[in-house]
Amino acid sequence: MSTQAASPVVASGGVAVGGARHVAIIMDGNGRWAKKRFLPRLAGHRAGIEAVRRTITAAGEIGLQALTLYAFSSENWRRPATEVSDLMGLLGHYLRREIDALDRNNVQLRLIGEWRKFEADLVNQLLEACERLSKNDGLIVTLALNYGAQDELVRAMRKLAEEARAGAIDPETIDTQAIEARLDTADLPPLDLVIRTSGESRLSNFLLWQAAYAELLFTETLWPDFDRAALESALECFVQRERRFGGL
């Protein structure tokens, strides 16, 4: 799809239209992409990093406000130790290689999940990247790292319980807004669209609260093959859906 052609998702100034501000992606299919090519899984993860770069660039050019990527789930620790180590190494490599381009493109970087449980060197690298990009005011890229939505909700409930025990909040006043304010995503716009690649049709413990009224799109495209055309196609599907939020 030509990025210059008239599109229902891209305005003439390059700003996304149709109401989609925040898109989240479950980046699935690296292993299957590699297997189809008789390559090691690491090759699939490396190709997946290139898809991340393409998608962030496209999201910024299209005019999305926020892009959240499921980069490492709390369940991914169950994978072989060598693969986990490879994924951590690729994350560090990506930050080193792309930080200048992210800064030039006015990208902000946010992190959600229990990412501080990674090794100290990687934690410091993540903190430094967030600090360097903190003055930017363009696309908000959020990496979900060591993230699980059920864990996020448990942590939010614990915060509320501790505040109630300390007398800082009346339990009778706890509502959806109080919970949302204590989620990892509290400073992000409401979630509009969740995309999952590779043909799987489940959320896999990703943004369960936030996705309550988000549109869901499942595509057969493997993550390493995802590109601007795939993102625009997903946004075109979003534009055509009628969002009633429980109303008529």
* Annotation: binding site for Mg(2+): 28, 215
Contact 65, 139 (CB under 8 A): yes
Q: Which of 28, 146, 184, 192 is catalytic?
A: 28
Contact 198, 32 (CB under 8 A): yes
Q: Which of 76, 105, 136, 205 is catalytic?
A: 76
Distance CA 211, CA 130 (A): 25
Angle at 104 between CA 100 and CA 107, to 5 degrees: 95
Q: In sequence order, what DSSP letters do the residues of 61-104 get, joined into one string?
A: HHT-SEEEEEEEETTGGGS-HHHHHHHHHHHHHHHHHHHHHHHH
Please enumerate in sequence order all residues whose Cβ is within 8 A of that of 104, keeping only pairs 6 or more positions apart, or say none.
none
At 50, the amino acid letter reads E
Please enumerate in sequence order all residues whose Cβ is within 8 A of that of 101, keeping only pairs 6 or more positions apart, or say none.
53
Distance CA 196, CA 220 (A): 9
The SS3 call for residue 71 is strand
The SS3 call for residue 72 is strand
Binding site for substrate, residues? Answer: 29-33, 41, 45, 73-75, 77, 79, 196, 202-204
Please enumerate in sequence order all residues whose Cβ is within 8 A of that of 158, keeping only pairs 6 or more positions apart, or say none.
none
Query: Is 106 an active-site residue?
Result: no
Distance CA 188, CA 137 (A): 13
Query: Is 205 an active-site residue?
Result: no
**Which residues are designated catalytic?**
28, 76
